[in-house]
């Protein structure tokens, strides 16, 4: 059933891609093409496109981008079972779980440096004295899912715990026995071997482990994981780590964008986890961050302290209309369709013959931005109604040919355009 749904989705996606992106055959529109690291028309790309259709990681997960929380961006290595439990509690008590945030993901530093006598992972006793199984049971009892972290090398990036290289099957079985639902798999201390050799070993181990586990490849974009990720994992990092600054965030967005055509239900480009609420950007900058991640069909993994959300953070991460764009059933990643200096237009089709349009002013000064129908893939004569997703209102006027807005520096407007009449 899952397989059928997926292929229907793909067919729809392909049909839409043809309708909405008439210029696709002639190269990516706007300024995006020049930034692409890969030639999307090359025979290698076409080969991979055939390959990944044949080799779908058949765990049925990730039909829409995953949503949840991960410990790294706020807590780094300073984690323990208390903070994980309290975060699970807070996801429920704030109402975020009802909005779709379901994964509670433990990142690096959860295990002892030494495996046990049988070669099994051991939870770090000072931080997780009750063990991971008990924590998983607790998280599940809240109606949530739990994720864990390992590495495709000998040690994780923190070097405070082992990686899974050479222990893939054993570790996958351990994770399944604990009730783990999601694995983030890092790329540190790997002895210099290729990720295309190391990652599929864990894919096969997870498939044999007897429990569907979302497989998140954290390969940092080194060897274009977008080209081989779909047969290996449910998402793949296209960049190295984000940090909590405007420049870092926007550069992750830029690096992720050229791979848009390779995202689809079951496999997503991942520009790294959200920094919204961690304090390094303004509210408007975080709105740009959340908007780009949403229309890019990126995983929406919160990275702040859920136990202590400010009103501004809550307003951003709880925006149902923006979340709905991310979770749209077509699963088509938006593209940067025009870029002029610091002014950018991003757009992508969503279900119901609608299009999500993001106007981003990357400059410092207020500026008038325009999205033209021929850039965003609407027929020129289309009359469209515009819904402003941050203002939560449908604009009184309808629009033909273009829509404009005057936007402050480091700010955005996110619209859904719907053809009318
Ligand atoms: C658990 O981790 C949190 C977050 O880093 C920290 O504030 C708290 O002191 C830790 N608790 C224990 C018992 O170590
Ligand atoms: C809660 O967040 C505020 C900022 O919104 C910060 O000043 C405060 O230190 C945080 N409290 C804790 C316990 O982390
Ligand atoms: C936008 O469209 C209107 C007509 O609907 C037209 O008058 C105007 O020149 C267009 N603006 C731009 C910047 O294309």
pLDDT tens digits, one per residue of 149-161: 999 999 999 999 9
Q: 186 catalytic, yes or no?
A: yes
Nearest CA to ligand 1 atom 8: 83
Cβ(308) – ligand 2 distance below 6 Å: yes
Grouping H, G, I as helix, E, B as strand and the rest as coil, residue 381 is: coil
Nearest CA to ligand 3 atom 11: 402
Band (pLDDT 50/70/90 cuts) for residue 119 is: very high
More confident: 94 or 44: 94
Q: Which of 242, 238, 241, 218 is nearest to 226 (CA)?
A: 238
pLDDT at residue number 421 = 76
- Residues 364, 349 contacting (CB under 8 angstroms): no
pLDDT at residue number 89 = 98
Cβ(80) – ligand 1 distance below 6 Å: yes
Q: Using the predicted structure, report yes or no on whether residue 13 has a pLDDT greater than 60.
A: no
Distance of CA 162 to the CA centre of its chain: 26
Percent of the chain with pLDDT over 90: 86
pLDDT digits (tens, 9 = 90+) for 232-279: 999 999 999 999 999 999 999 999 999 999 999 999 999 999 999 999
Beta bridge partners of 387: 394, 416
Instruction: Ligand 3, residue 372: give the atom nearest the CA.
Output: 14
Radius of gyration of the chain (CA): 21
pLDDT at residue number 16 = 38
Q: Which of 96, 102, 99, 187 is nearest to 140 (CA)?
A: 102
pLDDT at residue number 43 = 54
Q: 81 alpha carbon to ligand 1 midpoint, in Å?
A: 9
Which member of 107, 151, 181, 186 is catalytic?
Answer: 186
Q: φ and ψ at 147, to 5 degrees?
A: -120, 155
| Cα–Cα distance, 330 to 11 (Å, whole number) | 10
Band (pLDDT 50/70/90 cuts) for residue 53 is: very low
Instruction: Ligand 2, residue 313: give the atom nearest the CA.
Output: 5
More confident: 205 or 31: 205
pLDDT at residue number 41 = 53
- Name, in order, each residue with C-beta under 8 angstroms of 135's C-beta and a sequence gap of 6 or more: 81, 84, 85, 106, 128, 146
CA atoms within 13 A on the CB side of 396: 0
**Rounded mean pLDDT of 147-174?**
98
pLDDT at residue number 47 = 52
Band (pLDDT 50/70/90 cuts) for residue 8 is: very low
**Rounded mean pLDDT of 317-334?**
98
Band (pLDDT 50/70/90 cuts) for residue 25 is: very low
Q: Using the predicted structure, report yes or no on whether residue 49 has a pLDDT greater than 60.
A: no
Mutational test site, ligand 2, from 275, 308, 316, max ligand atoms within 8 Å of CB: 308
Instruction: Ligand 1, residue 78: give the atom nearest the CA.
Output: 5
Q: Using the predicted structure, report yes or no on whether residue 212 has a pLDDT greater than 50.
A: yes
Cβ(370) – ligand 3 distance below 6 Å: yes
Cβ(374) – ligand 3 distance below 6 Å: no
Of the listed ligands, the closest to the CA of 81 is 1
pLDDT at residue number 58 = 79
Q: 139 alpha carbon to ligand 1 midpoint, in Å?
A: 18
pLDDT at residue number 42 = 56
Q: Using the predicted structure, report yes or no on whether residue 120 has a pLDDT greater than 60.
A: yes
Band (pLDDT 50/70/90 cuts) for residue 37 is: very low
Instruction: Ligand 1, residue 75: give the atom nearest the CA.
Output: 5
**Rounded mean pLDDT of 281-301?**
99
Tell me the pTM: 0.88
Q: Using the predicted structure, report yes or no on whether residue 2 has a pLDDT greater than 80.
A: no
Q: 83 alpha carbon to ligand 1 midpoint, in Å?
A: 6
Instruction: Ligand 2, residue 310: give the atom nearest the CA.
Output: 5
Q: Using the predicted structure, report yes or no on whether residue 213 has a pLDDT greater than 70.
A: yes
Cβ(82) – ligand 2 distance below 6 Å: no
pLDDT at residue number 127 = 98
| Sheet arrangement for strand 268-270 | 268-270, 235-237, 214-217, 182-186, 145-151, 103-105, 67-70, 300-302
- Residue 418 CB coordination number (10 Å): 18
Q: Using the predicted structure, report yes or no on whether residue 384 has a pLDDT greater than 90.
A: yes
Q: φ and ψ at 300, to 5 degrees?
A: -100, 80
Q: 141 alpha carbon to ligand 3 midpoint, in Å?
A: 55
Percent of the chain with pLDDT over 70: 86
Task: Specify the range with the lowest mean pLDDT, choosing from 43-47, 347-351, 383-387.
Answer: 43-47
pLDDT at residue number 46 = 52
Q: CA separation (Å) from 150 to 155, 260, 358? A: 9, 27, 35
More confident: 57 or 307: 307
| Cα–Cα distance, 107 to 157 (Å, whole number) | 11
Helix (H), strand (E) at residue 105: strand 103-105
Mutational test site, ligand 1, from 76, 82, 307, max ligand atoms within 8 Å of CB: 82
Band (pLDDT 50/70/90 cuts) for residue 62 is: very high
């Amino acid at each position: 059933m899952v397989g059928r749904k997926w292929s229907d989705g793909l067919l729809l996606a392909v049909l839409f891609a043809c309708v909405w992106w008439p210029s696709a055959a002639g190269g990516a529109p706007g300024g995006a093409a020049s930034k692409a690291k890969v030639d999307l028309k090359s025979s290698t790309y076409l080969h991979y496109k055939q390959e990944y259709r044949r080799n779908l990681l058949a765990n049925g997960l990730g039909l829409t981008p995953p949503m949840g929380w991960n410990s790294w961006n706020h807590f780094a290595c300073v984690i323990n079972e208390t903070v994980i439990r309290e975060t699970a509690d807070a996801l429920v008590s704030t109402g975020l779980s009802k909005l779709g945030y379901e994964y509670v993901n433990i990142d690096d530093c959860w295990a002892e440096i030494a495996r046990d006598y049988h070669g099994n992972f051991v939870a770090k006793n000072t931080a997780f004295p009750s063990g991971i199984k008990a924590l998983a049971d607790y998280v599940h009892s809240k109606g949530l899912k739990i994720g864990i972290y390992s590495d495709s090398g000998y040690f994780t990036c923190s070097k405070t715990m082992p990686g899974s290289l050479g222990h893939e099957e054993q570790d996958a079985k351990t994770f399944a026995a604990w009730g783990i639902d999601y694995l983030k798999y890092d790329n540190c201390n790997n002895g210099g071997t290729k990720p295309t050799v190391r990652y599929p070993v864990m894919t096969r181990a997870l498939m044999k482990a007897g429990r569907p586990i979302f497989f998140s490849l954290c390969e940092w974009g080194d060897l274009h994981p977008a080209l081989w990720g779909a047969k290996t994992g449910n998402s793949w990092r296209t960049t190295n780590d984000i940090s909590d600054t405007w420049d870092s965030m926007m550069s992750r967005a830029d690096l992720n964008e050229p791979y848009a055509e390779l995202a689809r239900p079951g496999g997503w480009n991942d520009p790294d986890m959200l920094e919204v609420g961690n304090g390094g950007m303004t509210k408007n900058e975080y709105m740009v961050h959340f908007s780009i991640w949403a229309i890019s069909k990126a995983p929406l993994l919160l990275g702040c302290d859920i136990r202590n959300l400010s009103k501004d953070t809550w307003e951003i991460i709880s925006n149902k209309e923006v979340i709905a764009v991310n979770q749209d059933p077509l699963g088509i990643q938006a593209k940067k369709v025009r870029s002029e200096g610091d002014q950018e237009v991003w757009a992508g089709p969503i279900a119901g013959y609608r299009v999500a349009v993001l106007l981003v002013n990357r400059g410092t000064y207020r500026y008038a931005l325009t999205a033209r129908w021929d850039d965003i893939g609407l027929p020129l004569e289309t009359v469209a109604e515009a819904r402003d997703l941050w203002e939560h209102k449908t604009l009184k006027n309808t629009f033909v040919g273009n829509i404009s807005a005057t936007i402050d520096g480091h700010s955005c407007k996110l619209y859904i355009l719907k053809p009318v009449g």
